[in-house]
Amino acid sequence: MKITIVGAGYVGLVSAACFAELGNHVVCVDRDAGRVERLRKAEVPIFEPGLGELITKNLAAGRITFTTDMKAGVRHADILFIAVGTPPAGDSSADISQVLAVAGEIGEHLSRFLVIVDKSTVPVGTADRVRETVLNALRQRGSKSGAARRLPDFAVVSNPEFLKEGAAVEDFMRPDRVVIGVSDDPSGRKAEALMRQAYAPFNRNRERLIVMDVKSAELTKYAANALLATKISFMNDMANLADALGADIEKVRQGIGSDRRIGYDFIYAGLGYGGSCFPKDVAAICHTARESGERLRVVEAVRSVNASQKQRFVERIAEHFGGSLEGREIALWGLTFKPATDDVREAPSRYIVRRLIALGASIRAHDPQVQSIEQLMPGESVARLGQRIRFVSDPMQAVRGADALVIATEWKVYRSPDFAALRKSLKKPVIFDGRNLFDPADMKRLGFHYQGVGRRA
């Protein structure tokens, strides 16, 4: 099939590479000429396992091309996926101006039936606004040319993406489900047939396509992320109670996860969720609810638990040192919002770094992907912070002479350190583990003062 993807970000690049790998002819459009230039040389701007290989291979096979030319993209496609950014707007809604700008451009160049797919996470009702924007652009074109021609037909489809960073290629290639929202009219049915064709390779052994109306598909994406975020905040709430009661959240996790209705996934207590999706989507769905005269009371609580989780963590570190960290040297392992990514958006480490420094500490940080303050806090003024944090290339270098070790991301390299060397290196054998990597009883035996989240020491 002929597929165009607009937006060479996470979702766009992964979708483009995977559809090309399945034998489709994919054009990937991005307005950033520098990015397009680099992608043509197979230089992938994001760290995502397997993605570079797929792009290299499909570039060589001529199944994927990169361009800034929207007209070429629109003219090429049977199906066009909009995968541009939807950053948080000031009022915690999602900013869909980039999506609508793309819709306008589609309208300028549309010449035959096209399926326009919202792939980015967009608020419920966006498909309607995309349709309106395309129609307006088409009408303007019609009135400019003066000809009373029939407007070309198109359909707007919602096809939310459920991929996880770090496992995006795998998630795309082996989806649990593919949600497709189409309208109940002739263009919608035509679009459904084309979408079924595009996703047929994913549907071999089991029916994975779930077709529904457009608004339900849009809401499905938010409901999924809000429920996953709810599991995390619920466990963090429980972990704090476990702390107060002297129970162990790890034991509780095993105890409840074994119930298949609950399941083992997403019930790890820690520093709360971060990343580019959960915080933004949870805020946006609360905003949408309020706009519709409803309140998502559970999801609002999920947000507030998540915000306080990292605060409590730093408070406990400060308490250990009598309230001030003046003159203290803290080693920090892990900066990205989760392992196997270079993404620091909404990473708990950013809050932790700011607070520890505000409390007087100096930091020596290690992360396999993040090696500078500019990378950790892009776009922020960091001159003052920069003087108080050093980045080192080896985890053990970070702990040498430090008053305590703080673990903020569960990268694999931190999972089995040489504990004897670690104890010797630290000035005091103190560990605050925001990811519950180790067993408190073992740590005690090894001579550490070890505090996890909700773990019985």
For 169, how many CA atoms within 13 A lie in the half-sphere containing its CB? 17
266 contributes a contact to ligand UGA by CB under 6 A: yes
Looking only at the bridges linking them, the beta strands covering 404-407 and 2-6 are unpaired
Would you call 147 exposed, middle or buried from its count of C-beta atoms within 10 A (0-12, 13-18, 19+)?
exposed
Restricting to residues 131-170, name those near ligand UGA by CB under 6 A. Answer: 161-165
Q: Dihedral angle at the C-alpha atoms of 391, 8, 191, 187, nearest 10 degrees?
A: 120
To ligand UGA, the closest distance from the beta carbon of 437 in angstroms equals 13
Distance CA 340, CA 368 (A): 9
Interface with ligand UGA includes 174 (CB under 6 A)?
no
Q: Does 225 bind ligand UGA (CB under 6 A)?
A: yes
Task: Label the pairing between strands 404-407 and 329-333.
Answer: parallel
The catalytically annotated residue of 18, 28, 277, 286 is 277
Token look-up 């970070």 returns 398
121/220 with CB nearer ligand UGA: 121
Q: How far is the CB of 346 from ligand UGA (least distance, A)?
A: 8
- Angle formed at CA 414 by CA 388 and CA 276, multiple of 5 degrees: 70
In the three-class reduction of DSSP (H, G, I as helix; E, B as strand; rest coil), residue 345 is classed as coil
Q: Which is nearer to ligand UGA, 257 or 360 (CB)?
A: 257
Does 233 contact ligand UGA by CB under 6 A?
Answer: no
> Does 224 appear as a known binding residue?
no
**266 annotated as a binding-site residue:** yes
Residue ranges of alpha helices (H) inside 183-213 are 186-199
Position 253 contacts ligand UGA (CB under 6 A): no
Stretch that binds ligand UGA, among 59-67, 199-207, 274-282, 416-424 (CB under 6 A): 274-282
Determine if 121 is a binding residue for ligand UGA (CB under 6 A): yes
Q: How far apart are CA 39 and CA 18, in angstroms?
A: 15
248 lies in the binding site for ligand UGA (CB under 6 A): no
Strand partners, 407: 333, 433
Over the window 329 to 368, marking each residue x when it contacts ligand UGA by CB under 6 A and - when it does not, the resulting string is --------xx------------------------------
Which residues are bridge partners to 190 per DSSP? none
Q: Quick check: is 277 catalytic? A: yes
Contact region with ligand UGA (CB under 6 A), list: 95-103, 150-158, 264-272, 317-325: 264-272
Out of 18, 26, 130, 277, which residue is the one contacting ligand UGA (CB under 6 A)? 277
Residue 425: name the closest of 345, 350, 366, 368 by CA: 366
> What token pair was written down for 143?
């009135």
List residues forming the annotated binding site for substrate.
162-165, 221, 266-270, 274, 338
Which residues are designated catalytic?
Answer: 277
**Which residues sit at the interface with ligand UGA, rule CB under 6 A?**
121, 161-165, 225, 228, 232, 266-268, 270, 273-275, 277-278, 281, 337-338
